[in-house]
Amino acid sequence: MNDLIPIQQNDDGSIAVSMRALHTGLGIGRDFTTWAAQMFTYGFEAGTDYSEVLPGSGENPLGGRPRRDWALTIDTAKEIAMLQRSERGQQVRRYFIDAEKRFRAAQDVEMSDDELMARAVLSANRKIKSLEATVAEQQPKAAAWDHIVSSAGSWSYEGAAKVLFEQGVAKIGQNRLVDQLVEWGYLYRDAKKRPHAYQRYIEQGLFVTKARVYTDQKTGETRASSAPQVRITGKGLDVLFRRFRYGQIELPGLAA
């Protein structure tokens, strides 16, 4: 595999992988250009996660224009390998992890204590800047979500599914959301397969119910349905958000 996916060291000491070499090593059946374009849709940032490699002599062994290539950071290469969802992708990812460990170990042996300290400080500063950028990006989203879940409103199954989809935590529709809530034990179905919320979750404020009325076709009387409408509150929506994204079953402080 090392022959197929060589790892190169940059002038600044970082290591990089040729995207074309990665394409070959992964055994991708599609042509490189189409595959590379799809990989770049996963949110990788130019200049941070990859950089275009300018052709040296401009030669292409197959003729025509010079072939484009990109130098990937080792983390980006690992993530792309994992995105293939294949056994080969897992093997390549493990190969990169092992190669990175060997490279770091060899580099540490060659560096003095002062150089190691300087590298640690530089790495810490980079992580701090990255964290600050992430926090700055997430603050507006977090504020918007807090506004949603703290509101006094409630959502139908369809409305809740739409909100969860828009938040990027669940690609799910109304029917599948109800099925999931039944599976997780928030809802149950009666003999007619109609969903009902368990009373304890209503008392915890995750759901509210609203009476449904209908007109009796025989007597013309207005009657209350035995299956009230169940709606999801802001607190309940936040529980579902956490459950889908983090696997967290309940909000802290809620009794089981």
Q: What is the pLDDT of residues 34-46, one digit of tens each?
A: 899 889 888 888 8
**Considering only 58-62, 138-142, 154-158, 167-171, which range has the smallest mean pLDDT?**
58-62
d(CA 252, CA 246): 13
3-state secondary structure of 23: helix
Q: Return d(Cα 29, Cα 21) in angstroms, integer.
A: 14
Is 2 part of any domain?
Answer: no
Predicted TM-score (pTM) above 0.75: no
Residues 166 and 194 in one domain: yes
Predicted confidence (pLDDT) at residue 72 exceeds the cutoff of 90:
yes
**Structural domain contains residue 1:** no
Q: Would the pLDDT of 10 be above 60?
A: yes
Pair 122, 65 in one domain: no
Q: Is 253 inside a domain boundary?
A: no
Written as six digits, the tokens of 184 are 């997780």
Domain match, 130 and 195 both: no
7: its two tokens: 């790892």
Q: Does residue 252 lie in a domain region?
A: no
C-alpha 207/C-alpha 233 separation (Å) is: 5
Is the pLDDT at 64 greater than 50? The verdict is no
- For residue 152, the model assigns a pLDDT of 65
- Phi then psi for residue 7, to 5 deg, are -110, 130
Number of domains comprising the chain:
3
CB atoms within 10 A of CB 50: 22
pLDDT for residue 226 is more than 80 = no
Pairing of strands 69-73, 154-155: unpaired
Mean pLDDT within 220-242: 84
Residues 169 and 143 in one domain: no
For residue 149, what pLDDT is reported? 61
Provide the domain limits for residue 38: 7-110
Residue 18: pLDDT band (50, 70, 90) is very high
What pLDDT does 43 receive? 80
Q: Are residues 218 and 173 in the same domain?
A: yes
Q: What is the pLDDT of residue 206?
A: 92
Which backbone phi and psi does 191 adopt, to 5 degrees? -60, -25
pLDDT in tens, 171-189: 888 999 999 999 999 999 9
**Average pLDDT estimate for 82-93:** 91
For residues 190 and 96, membership in a common domain is answered with no
Neighbours of 230 (CB within 10 A): 23
Q: How far apart (Å, rounded) are the C-alpha atoms in residues 206 and 80?
A: 39
* Residue 73 and residue 49 share a domain: yes
DSSP one-letter code for 69: E
Q: CB of 161 within 8 A of CB of 178?
A: no
Q: Examine residue 30 and state whether it is found in any structural domain, yes or no.
A: yes
